[in-house]
Structure 1
């Protein structure tokens, strides 16, 4: 499993200190200009299929107790297939536009 980060050009946000050196920065990804807010993430399975795209979590605080991500990662690491589903989430996000 590999983890990568991408940051909006010209922005000044930083990765949390405990994640530095564990996440590989990418200069950009196709379609990133369409992301309306952050933190957002995308997860691909071993075959390169998009398994999840959206916010890290729901609510005013981003943590594992309200995260959409941990169940997806758990399923993928156990070899289960994940179907990309859409949904609405309310939270505190930083607008990119």
Structure 2
């Protein structure tokens, strides 16, 4: 039986990732493409979720992670402010 892991799918027109449970990176990419929604843009990358992100996913919390690795859920006040600034760059698409 396949071992399931969580992956984060990053889209060109979304500021945050989509969580995809899959057995491998290629399977996660296929699953993300199959569930593509209008307005998301193209699939840019798929990365395995970090330990902190996996814990949030298991708790049922919405995970906010960006391609550059920043997250408004973790870090210092300055890091969260930087994440907020980056989020506003995408505001017109949300």
Larger helix proportion, structure 1 or 2?
Answer: 2
- Assess same fold via TM > 0.5: no
TM-score by length of 1: 0.30
- Return the structure number with greater relative CO, CA threshold 8 A, min gap 6: 2
